[in-house]
Amino acid sequence: MPEPIRVLVTGAAGQIAYSLLPPIAKGVVFGNDQPIVLILLDITPMMTALEGVVMELEDSAFPLLTAVIATDKEEVAFKDLDVAVLVGSMPRREGMERKDLLKANVKIFKSQGAALDKYSKKSVKVLVVGNPANTNCLTAAKSAPSIPKDNFSCLTRLDHNRAKAQISLRLKLQCDDVKNVIIWGNHSSTQYPDVTHAKVKVHGKEVGVYEAIKDDAYLKGDFISTVQQRGATVIKARKLSSAMSAAKAICDHLQDIWFGTKEGEFVSMGVISDGNSYGIPEDLIYSFPVTIKNKSWSFVEGLPINDFSREKMDLTAKELVEEKETAFEFLASA
């Protein structure tokens, strides 16, 4: 058996983690022969609830789970990590301005970035889930200067999966029959779900989504707004945010980092922009189409961008630039 890998989940007493921890412990994410040490971090008031989560993990008797460490201390949580899944963040409360949300989260992710820098392996893969995920990810990356920026990503796979699901439902296909949808930009209501380059398998033959659906007004209208607003729609129905689907998306994202993307397919991931790809300003965590090999991602280059897409991509980039400017003001004074 290989050596155990050390995997951190923050916000570990929360509802996303409750759906996420079993598949990680079971070997769904990192392979069914990979032993795991799970480190669970949460704030001090949540430690009693977290003890209950630890008991459930113990009672599940997962063969690959070699140890579970529950803590409220960053110096314990971030030690020698191979993977960090940063789920915990300050949620937006009623009446809270986005600026207030950014300020609260800058403090959290500056501290966690510094802890990654000080205690974790330099090869650690960091996935930021807690919202606003793109800017929280950038804050953590900036606060961990000794860890390569390419090791940081934020979750837009849930949006990617939602887009795939809407297309498959529309065409009455399996989700696996849809590939190469793209989520551009921010994990917010300005994100751009793009199926211009997506393919579907119909009767064994691959065709473009626009050709298969034959309804441009839908693909440029209701499809986009449905994916953009899906999180809010789930909250309205459940009175709670997406947890099961978020946990599945985290698993998909981590699996692709660990084992690579399928030949001929790309996925959406919030990664650091270099200023050279698709006209997106440098130094933003922006969702792009990527392929992954040997635990390293690469931009999918050279996709033609039409005027409709260009406008949508620039709009979400503008929001991210504004978020970054606000966050960095707080970062400088934090």
Hey, how many other C-beta atoms are within 10 angstroms of the C-beta on 322? 13
Q: Does the annotation place 162 within a ligand binding site?
A: yes
Residue with tokens 């309804």: 215
CB 165 within 8 A of CB 293: no
Q: Does the annotation place 230 within a ligand binding site?
A: no
Q: Does the annotation place 42 within a ligand binding site?
A: yes
Active-site residue, from 160, 187, 197, 253: 187
Q: What are phi and psi of 196, to 5 degrees?
A: -60, -35
Q: Does the annotation place 54 within a ligand binding site?
A: no
Whole-angstrom distance, CA of residue 259 vs CA of residue 244? 22
261-295 b/e (C-beta count within 10 Å ≥ 16 → b): beeeebbbbbbbbeeebbebeebbbbbbbbbbeee
Q: Does the annotation place 157 within a ligand binding site?
A: no
Whole-angstrom distance, CA of residue 119 vs CA of residue 96? 33
Whole-angstrom distance, CA of residue 12 vs CA of residue 40? 5
Whole-angstrom distance, CA of residue 32 vs CA of residue 223? 37
Q: Does the annotation place 105 within a ligand binding site?
A: yes
Query: Active-site residue 160, yes or no?
Result: no
Q: Does the annotation place 180 within a ligand binding site?
A: no
DSSP-derived pairing of the beta strands 178-179 and 83-86: unpaired
Q: Does the annotation place 93 within a ligand binding site?
A: no
Residue with tokens 């990654």: 116
Whole-angstrom distance, CA of residue 250 vs CA of residue 117? 23
Q: Which residues are annotated as a binding site for NAD(+)?
A: 42, 105, 129-131
Q: Which residues are annotated as a binding site for substrate?
A: 92, 98, 131, 162
Residues that are catalytic = 187
